[in-house]
Structure 1
Amino acid sequence: MLPGVTPPPTVSAEYLAADGTPAQPVRVLALNGQLLIQGAGADRSVALRGLRWPDQAARRGHLRELVLPDGARLRATGAADSAAWDAWQRQVGPGSGWRALRWAGLGALLAGLAAALLLWLAYAQGLPLAARGVLALVPTELEARIGRATLEGMDGEQLAPSTLPPERRRQLEARVAAALQRSGTPLAYDLQWRRSRDGRHPGPNAFALPGGTVVVTDELVQLLEGADDALLGVIGHELGHVRERHGMRLVTQTGLVTLAIGALIGDYGSVLAGAPVLLAQGAYSRDFEREADDAAIALLRANGLSPLALLTLFERLAARAGQTERAGEPDAWGIAFASHPPDAERVARIRAAAASAAHPPP
């Protein structure tokens, strides 16, 4: 997955306007320091800074209520909605971290640290192996359903239908299919084209979802205009994620961690309710990304192309980032997340692959 496609934290709630209008269902997103409220009865934004979030003492049963500066309210009710709200608030509000731990007491803090250490050991040593075992039991239809549900969610919030000319899409689809055929590694995949709904996020990007769906944005095609070899390499990177089932492996590993946390703290409800948010924000590991880079390099080589074509992506992304900074626009969806190997490392590996192809060992 290219950096910068992580969806913002969202939650479902009811919106009660200050004028007494009946409650309306809305979707609430936290993005760039703003709380975005979207629904048939409301479409507004409120600064996150200064909001008075419901704390533990103010909660009544399953009721969660956030009062906005103008007197309007956001409300969640019911066990499932309140648990989802709590998981969401822990990500975007101030009612988490050291403040929450202070109220929980020193004993809870020590227990949490011990649990974190155990989870880290389990993650580093046993989680990948366990996830592979579970993954072998996952039906392909379930994997496809997860991918479809994820794309539907992104279509509702971040993505819009592509405006690329149909002929251009067909040309790119034919080239990808021919490249895979020449590589001798057939693969079931579904290439989808989208654009950023707001014109900025996720911007130039491509990403793979469980079940074989690969999404390419119009902005990426435009960024790599005149460099179709680089675009083929990027799509080959995502096809590497598909071949290795990285998306479903991420879901499986995160699910195992979620269940382990529930067993340690004895609170399955809130943990499981927050799992969709955690999964939506998951990022591929560095090992996954290296495997996908290797797949892109192999696809280019099999088609008589130099892996150096991939460097065009880094060059144009860097130039675009510089333009964004000069325009004074914050780049909240930057191209360097911690989960990805540093750009310098990836560039060095690509250059080494190109050099080894040019000078094979005797």
Structure 2
Amino acid sequence: MSAPRLAGDWFDGRSARPRPVDVWLDGTTLHYGEHDVPLAQVTWPERQRHGQRQVLLPGGGVLGFADATAFDAWALASGRGDSVVVRWQQSWRLAALSLVLLVAGLAAGYRWALPWAADRAVDAMPLSAERRVSEHLLGQLDGDWLHPSLLAPAQQQAWRERWQRMLAQARATGGPMQPERFNLHFRAGSKLLGPNAFALPGGDIVITDELLKLLEDEPDAALTVLAHELGHVQHRHGLRMLLRAGAVGVVTSVVLGDFSSLLAAAPALLATSAYSRDNERQADAYGRALARAGGVDTSRMAVFFQRISEKHAAVGERSLAIAISSHPADAERVRFFSEP
């Protein structure tokens, strides 16, 4: 049985004038007129719904077929059926399945692969590099989100001494391990930031004048908040969050071609400390253990949550919530800090 033939136009790559030829396949060889070429050297066209078919030949030649339907039928009869990819593209059901699988893959990557990769990067990053990140971020925050503290030097020293006494007692009584390096910074917060406390990668802990004023008659609550922030430092939550958000931001920036939003968002992200629930619970457990080992009454956190709630209810949306009050639910955390 002779191979099926199809009429086409041959462009030799040197002249724009087409030459009519008969085209057929013989095993692994493509014949056109008096010429032939191994199929391995030919670029075969994918089947599409519209448009002519073109077979690309070595050396710049082209075989053109105006009747796409006739070409598809000839190719099928000659044993050149559609590839799996082409059949997939031609089916709306398979295309929809591809979209579902893509979305599921991206979601799985965001949920599991991204945190895993960020955690491995954190484990590999030396503390000296993390400290440089912290210094850079603190410099960005100062002036935009933070301003020099208005607390008198004597007030700042009194808070530092309370803090150091608690830490020293916790070490003496076998409290949880404390980070190798951390510093306490006093700052006045902007109107948007308000009463707040947060930890930066590398051990810089910032507490605002507004929060200390809110808790000036509740030093145990303020110390427990600081112990909670030290928990974020100990477990390197800030760096993990920054790397995870940065990975998503890099992908978005590559797609959009704009890295400015990624760089601008980093300080705000850390200032509002949008930690995961697991990170918050881990910092809560560390903070409660450290504060209690340091002789602090952690049940006074009930006052903290109440006052923060009232403060933000009064100002509405004009200020950012302090992260420690955001999640898990306040009632759950009040019980946690109050239970024996």
TM more than 0.5:
yes
- Matched with 1:155 is 142
Residues 1:213 and 2:204 are matched in the alignment: yes
- Matched with 1:194 is 187
Q: Following TM superposition, by how much is the alpha carbon of 1:221 offset from its aligned partner in structure 2, in angstroms?
A: 0.5
**Structure-2 separation of matches of 1:315 and 1:338:** 10
Letter in 1 for 2:163: V
Q: Following TM superposition, by how much is the alpha carbon of 1:241 offset from its aligned partner in structure 2, in angstroms?
A: 0.6
Q: Following TM superposition, by how much is the alpha carbon of 1:137 offset from its aligned partner in structure 2, in angstroms?
A: 1.8
**Structure-1 separation of matches of 2:312 and 2:242:** 31
1:219/1:229 CA distance change after superposition, 3 Å: same
Listed one character per residue, the Cα deviations across residues 18-71 of structure 1 (whole Å, up to 9, x for unaligned) are: xxxxxxxxxxxxxxxxxxxxxxxxxxxxxxxxxxxxxxxxxxxxxxxxxxxxxx
**Structure-2 separation of matches of 1:113 and 1:270:** 26
Letter in 1 for 2:279: F
- Matched with 2:122 is 135
Over aligned residues, Cα RMSD in angstroms?
Answer: 3.0
- The equivalences for 1:124-273 within 5 A come to 124-184=111-171, 185-187=177-179, 188-197=181-190, 200-258=191-249, 267=254, 270=257, 272-273=259-260
8 Å CA contact 2:118, 2:240 repeated in 1:
yes
Listed one character per residue, the Cα deviations across residues 48-99 of structure 1 (whole Å, up to 9, x for unaligned) are: xxxxxxxxxxxxxxxxxxxxxxxxxxxxxxxxxxxxxxxxxxxxxxxxxxxx
- The equivalences for 1:48-59 within 5 A come to none
Q: Give the number of aligned pairs.
A: 236
The higher radius of gyration belongs to 2
Listed one character per residue, the Cα deviations across residues 242-280 of structure 1 (whole Å, up to 9, x for unaligned) are: 111111111222233345567xxxx46726554324434
8 Å CA contact 1:183, 1:302 repeated in 2:
yes
- Matched with 1:341 is 328
**Structure-1 separation of matches of 2:102 and 2:329:** 30
**Structure-1 separation of matches of 2:292 and 2:194:** 28
8 Å CA contact 1:237, 1:295 repeated in 2:
yes
Listed one character per residue, the Cα deviations across residues 109-136 of structure 1 (whole Å, up to 9, x for unaligned) are: 9998765532321232233332221112
Structure 2, unaligned stretches of length 5 or more? 1-95, 172-176
- Matched with 1:304 is 295
Q: Matched residue of 2:207: which SS?
A: strand
**Structure-2 separation of matches of 1:151 and 1:336:** 18
Letter in 2 for 1:131: A
1:336/1:110 CA distance change after superposition, 3 Å: farther
TM-score computed with the length of structure 2 as normaliser: 0.62
- Matched with 1:317 is 308
8 Å CA contact 2:140, 2:267 repeated in 1:
no
1:242/1:153 CA distance change after superposition, 3 Å: same
Higher relative contact order (CA 8 A, sep 6+): 1
TM-score computed with the length of structure 1 as normaliser: 0.58
Q: Following TM superposition, by how much is the alpha carbon of 1:176 offset from its aligned partner in structure 2, in angstroms?
A: 1.4
**Structure-1 separation of matches of 2:224 and 2:233:** 14
The percent of aligned pairs where both chains have the same amino acid is 35
Q: Matched residue of 1:156: which SS?
A: coil
